[in-house]
């Protein structure tokens, strides 16, 4: 009897960019049959985007699994930084699919962590991984995602979190001034507002306004034309031929905040299995993450500093992790993670 091949449509749906792909039971999770990226803000809904994608490929899919940048409840989801509302039943009916599953994007991300190979990672702190120890994921992209995994004696199970919307707690005088600056503008200052693409822009504007560096004319021109400030700021900070001190200060502040929050997450989860940095930003700022400030902020936990030295810290380099996690559920729903 010929073994039937199952193909599943998967998506990593973010406020800035959405990645869609098709995986099959035959090709496995490491290599999608086809994939494409879309600017999320160019589409009125996920349904419109998916229809365009499916019209361009010649692969029949019957089911879909989407990782969504926002909370998922009762089969419905709203993108945190995008005016989309999604419903599993509506999507299945509109797209002619037998089943659609929506899951938090960081939950999808976390599902794939146990599948990662050494070449998918860059290690910032080797530490000493405890077999079966809890694992935590923190992923700054457009927003700030967090998730964690626990061992159930047979395998790791992933759990969603909205920890990125917890309160921002400054750790030094500069960050305290940043908090006061943002409190004048927002009713609530979350970690996402200082530790994400949104946060990077907020830090830049704060440092500029408070005289921590001058904005060069060439940079002002680039920012005036940019739809997204983040790549402009990051590129200017990393450009050794024409370095921008204001952008460097912005990135250094961001990295220290990220290190502190990664350390907080490690303590809350007792993540003896390791902390994994994902999202769109960490792979783009590896030279800065590999310097001292990130790990200094990570370890700076008073009496727990010695414990922090033992926790492995890795940056995920594989850009398809969220798609892999969504595909894991789509291809194996009986063992895939649910919320």
What is the enclosing helix (H) or strand (E) of 158? Answer: strand 156-161
- Whether the CB-CB separation of 150 and 272 falls below 8 Å is answered with no
> What pLDDT tens digit does each residue of the chain (339 aa) get?
344 557 899 999 988 889 999 998 777 787 899 999 999 989 999 999 999 999 999 888 989 999 998 788 899 998 777 888 899 999 999 999 999 999 988 999 999 999 999 999 999 999 999 999 999 999 999 899 999 999 999 999 999 888 999 999 999 999 999 999 999 999 999 999 999 999 999 999 999 999 999 999 999 999 999 989 999 999 999 999 998 999 999 999 999 999 999 999 999 999 999 999 999 999 999 999 999 999 999 999 999 999 999 999 999 999 889 899 999 877 765 444 433
* Gap between the Cα atoms of 195 and 146, Å rounded: 12
Domains of the chain: 7-105+320-331 (3.30.420.40), 164-316 (3.40.367.20)
C-alpha 115/C-alpha 42 separation (Å) is 32
CA distance 288 to 299: 17
User: Residue 288, Cβ neighbours under 10 Å: how many?
Assistant: 19
- Alpha helices, H only, 185-240: 197-209, 217-225, 229-238
The pLDDT value given to residue 335:
44
How far apart CA 307 and CA 326 sit, in angstroms, is 33
């Amino acid at each position: 009897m010929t073994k039937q091949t199952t193909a599943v449509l998967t998506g990593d749906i973010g406020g800035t960019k959405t990645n869609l792909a098709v995986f099959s039971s035959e090709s496995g999770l490491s290599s999608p049959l086809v994939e494409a990226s879309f600017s999320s803000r160019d589409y009125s809904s996920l349904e419109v985007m998916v229809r365009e994608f499916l019209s361009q490929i010649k692969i029949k899919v019957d089911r879909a699994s989407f990782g969504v940048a926002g909370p998922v409840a009762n089969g419905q989801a709203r993108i945190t930084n995008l005016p989309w509302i999604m419903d599993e039943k509506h999507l299945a009916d509109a797209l002619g699919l037998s089943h659609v599953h929506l899951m938090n994007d960081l939950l999808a991300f976390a599902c794939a962590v146990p599948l990662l190979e050494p070449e998918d990672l860059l290690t910032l702190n080797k530490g000493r991984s405890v077999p079966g120890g809890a694992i935590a994921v923190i992923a700054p992209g457009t927003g700030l995602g967090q998730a964690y995994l626990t061992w159930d004696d047979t395998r790791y199970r992933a759990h969603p979190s909205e920890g990125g919307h917890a309160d921002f707690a400054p750790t030094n005088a500069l960050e305290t001034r940043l908090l006061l600056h943002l409190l004048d503008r927002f009713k609530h200052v979350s970690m996402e507002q200082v530790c994400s693409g949104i946060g990077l822009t907020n830090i830049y504007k704060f440092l500029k306004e408070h005289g921590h560096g001058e904005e060069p004319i060439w940079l002002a021109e680039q920012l005036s034309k940019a739809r997204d400030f983040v790549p402009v700021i990051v590129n200017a900070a990393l450009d050794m031929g024409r370095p921008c001190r204001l952008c460097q200060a912005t990135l250094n502040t961001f990295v220290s905040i990220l290190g502190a929050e990664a350390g907080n997450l490690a303590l809350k989860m007792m993540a003896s299995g390791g902390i994994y940095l994902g999202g769109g930003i960490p792979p783009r700022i590896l030279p800065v993450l590999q310097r001292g400030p990130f790990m200094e902020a990570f370890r700076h936990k008073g009496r727990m500093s010695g414990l922090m030295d033992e926790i492995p810290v890795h940056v995920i380099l594989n850009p398809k992790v969220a798609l892999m996690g969504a595909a894991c559920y789509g291809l194996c729903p009986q063992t895939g993670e649910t919320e």
